[in-house]
Amino acid sequence: MCKGTLVFFGTIPETVKFFADAGHKFPKNTNPADFFIESIEADMTKEKDKAKMRIVPKTMKTSARASEIHYIIEQQVKDAVTKQLDNPYQKDLPAFQTSRWKQLWYLMHRVILSWIRNPLNAIGRIGMFISTALLVGLLFLTLDFDQNNLQDRICALCFCYIFLVFVPMCSIELFVEDREIFLRERMNGYYAVLPYAVAYSLVVNGFVAICAAIFSAIVYYMVQFNPHSEAFGYFLVNLVATLWCSEALVGILSTLVNGAVAGIALTASVFGVLVLTNGFFIRSSNIPGWWIWVHWSNFAKYSFEGTMVSEFTAVNFSCIPLNQSIVTSIPCTVDNVTLFNNCTLGADNTTVQFIQLAVQACSCSYPDLNRDCVLQGEELLTALEYDIEKWGWFAVTMGFSFLFRIIFYFCLRFLVTNKR
């Protein structure tokens, strides 16, 4: 080969004869390889050498040897095609030498080994979860169940979910690097797309579940969220589901770009919209109509609202008492049951419908529907428009995580190809 052009193809004795026919006679006591290289080398600034470069390949094209090579290649191609058509078992041959289950097992094993051999990514992410949990725990340390700490408690919950939504962005660069390996191995027929997508998802989901457990164990009891055991369990599994959704969405967005910088920019933009429309910064009833579809298709909405319901169910917050009393009208009877003994007036015992009572005045951050100077968690949820079933919302979040993984598979299947 010379400059991308075939000069000759054959044995060494045939090469000597070929070059002699082309005007390059082989001298005695000369290394054949050196002679052949010098014969086809040229200084492209000299017209004489350019002409020499055109002569040798042209000799090859018009030689009998070239015709013989072309004939041999054509015969080999015909024989291969005929053999394939005549083989009745050719159609039954598998596309891969190993089964899908074996591919899945080996790919999971390789991903885990890759993380073990390059532990900086895993250690860095675990350290980030621990440090952030300690930061939130120390900043919101031991919040009381009163009006002064109510908004702080809501903000602490919101920050935890915003943090978990944005955390998977740090894995974009790692996925972009692995994508090149995946593409090369896929084009060489090492494995199918489905085992790779499932193996990658299982390993990543298992790792982020461990991270979520570490984060929850630290931050939950330092802040003193809802003390009921069921509330902690829901907080943990809901964080895991949120991380699964975020990780899967990052995988989808990473297949749409060619570089890590573009992937980070795209992911930050999408996640910013998700955080703004999750129902914390603006209530669903106040979201404009052209944005409401984003709110209802936002996995962060369902995970955050579910945790809010879990946190504020069966808990009470004492309102701030004021140094004054107010007179209020209270019904004397409810469902034909008399509540007060002094609801009759005069000699004819006329019954009145309301009685005026002086009650202690207090200040509540949200409407105290019972007027007892105690804000119940259910009253807060009603004011925030969170009258939902938390486990139903958790099921929706899990559904989003599975849907994103299915989309991730199709993105790998049809977008990550050698045509990019």
Is 204 contained in some domain? yes
Check whether 348 has a pLDDT greater than 50. no
Same domain membership, residue 255 and residue 184: yes
> Among 19-33, 98-112, 167-181, which range has the highest average pLDDT?
98-112
Same domain membership, residue 260 and residue 153: yes
Among residues 40, 59, 86, the one where a domain terminates is: 86
Confidence (pLDDT) at 15: 74
Same domain membership, residue 65 and residue 104: no
Same domain membership, residue 278 and residue 157: yes
Contact between 333 and 190 (Cβ < 8 Å): no
Higher-pLDDT residue of 419 and 292 is: 292
Same domain membership, residue 263 and residue 141: yes
385 backbone φψ class: left, alpha, beta (φ>0; ψ -120 to 50): left
Confidence of residue 119 (pLDDT cuts 50, 70, 90): confident
CA distance 328 to 236: 44
Is 4 contained in some domain? no
Confidence (pLDDT) at 405: 95
Give the dihedral sign, CA 319/320/321/324: negative
Contact between 375 and 316 (Cβ < 8 Å): yes
CA distance 297 to 407: 15
Number of domains in the chain: 2
Same domain membership, residue 148 and residue 24: no
Using CB atoms within 10 A of its CB, is residue 325 exposed (0-12), middle (13-18) or buried (19+)? Answer: exposed
Provide the residue range defining the domain that includes 23. Answer: 12-86
When pLDDT is averaged across residues 306-321 and rounded to a whole number, the result is 88
Confidence of residue 234 (pLDDT cuts 50, 70, 90): very high
Check whether 112 has a pLDDT greater than 50. yes
Is 146 contained in some domain? yes
Confidence of residue 92 (pLDDT cuts 50, 70, 90): low
Among residues 32, 64, 86, the one where a domain terminates is: 86
**What confidence tens digit (pLDDT) does each residue in 169-219 have?**
888 887 887 888 888 888 888 888 999 999 999 999 999 999 999 999 999
Same domain membership, residue 117 and residue 32: no
Among residues 86, 117, 150, the one where a domain terminates is: 86
Is 286 contained in some domain? yes
Is 135 contained in some domain? yes
Threshold 0.85, pTM exceeds: no
Same domain membership, residue 229 and residue 203: yes
Same domain membership, residue 42 and residue 179: no
Is 370 contained in some domain? no
- The residue to which tokens 């169910």 are assigned: 313
Same domain membership, residue 139 and residue 65: no
Is 104 contained in some domain? yes
Same domain membership, residue 81 and residue 33: yes
> Among 164-178, 274-288, 315-329, 353-367, which range has the highest average pLDDT?
274-288
Same domain membership, residue 307 and residue 158: yes
